[in-house]
Amino acid sequence: AQKITQTQPGMFVQEKEAVTLDCTYDTSDQSYGLFWYKQPSSGEMIFLIYQGSYDEQNATEGRYSLNFQKARKSANLVISASQLGDSAMYFCAMRGLNNAGNMLTFGGGTRLMVKP
């Protein structure tokens, strides 16, 4: 079974500052993938970034980076230079890569609020 834990229900960050959203996971799979999604108030789910368990380097996509610590089973999302448009719900998710079904499990989410 897979489990994702996001311990921060809500966070504030000042515009233009960096912020880290925490994500820890638990799985018995040897190979797995970790995903972050953004959900603005409109409700759509926007894919942000992916990290494979065997990737040696931390993933980066523009202002998003993933601080992947495999031994600690954590995959924290770092957003640099926060913008007002970053205010949204953020979800961490994982999928076992050896699972024929590729079931995708989500955490409870973190609501990020960017202050001007």
Residues engaged in binding other proteins (CB under 8 A) = 4, 6, 9, 33, 35, 37, 43-45, 47, 50, 52, 91, 93, 95-97, 99-109
Distance CA 91, CA 6 (A): 8
Q: How far is the CB of 107 from other proteins (least distance, A)?
A: 5
Taking the least distance from each CB to other proteins, the nearer of 21 and 109 is 109
Q: How many Å is the maximal CA-CA distance in the chain?
A: 46
Taking the least distance from each CB to other proteins, the nearer of 55 and 67 is 55
Q: How far is the CB of 17 from other proteins (least distance, A)?
A: 25
Distance CA 49, CA 62 (A): 10
Q: Is the dihedral of CA 97, 34, 24, 53 positive or negative?
A: positive
Residue 76 falls in which region: left (phi positive, over 0), alpha (psi -120 to 50) or beta: beta
Q: How far is the CB of 106 from other proteins (least distance, A)?
A: 4
Distance CA 106, CA 83 (A): 25
Taking the least distance from each CB to other proteins, the nearer of 1 and 16 is 1
Q: How far is the CB of 16 from other proteins (least distance, A)?
A: 28
Taking the least distance from each CB to other proteins, the nearer of 17 and 44 is 44
